Amino acid sequence: MDFREVTEFIKDFFGYILFVGALIILFVFVIAIQPVAGNSMHPTLKEGEMVIVSKLFYNMGKPQRNDIVNVVDDKGKSYVKRIIGLPGEKIDYKNNVLYINNISYEETYLPEEIITRNFLFEDFCSLEDCPNGVIPEGKYLVLGDNRGESEDSRSPEFGLRKEEDIKGKIVFKIWPIKEFGRIN
């Protein structure tokens, strides 16, 4: 037996082990691939599309308005939603217009045909849960872009989501391949 062959085999073997280890670390701590289930984010994202979730994005900063995120409910079920309301804000929706702290805010990402039913801050956050009349520190209001078909923060079962419920920011669409690209 040639010693060089054994040495070469060991080098190759450890190279493969390192590669597999790096992939495991990447998919456990850095990114995730998630399918879009349902039509709550239509037309931005459609059922069956695949996206990449950056798990590290919020280690470097706080979630921001309009971020599309992977968020979990109290049972651990995963959803794709858009952040609309931030801590310290009062959110209302009147006549298809979003109001943040009583100032209208244009949602340029929504097509004109998307209608959002009116709701007031008090409809989804009682004074008991939001004693100052604003979203509490560490919580966020998330909505689907397809407001008529989205289970989101307007629902008492879903409600405002804690920051730790936001598992990552959706950064790329990878499927279908013809629509591959960054998501804003």
Name the residues annotated as catalytic: 40, 81
**Which residues share a beta bridge with 140?**
161
Q: Where are the alpha helices (DSSP H) in the chain?
A: 3-25, 121-124
Nearest CA-CA partner of 34 in 90, 81, 97:
81
Cβ(142)–Cβ(152) below 8 Å: yes
Backbone angles phi, psi at 111, to 5 degrees: -65, 155
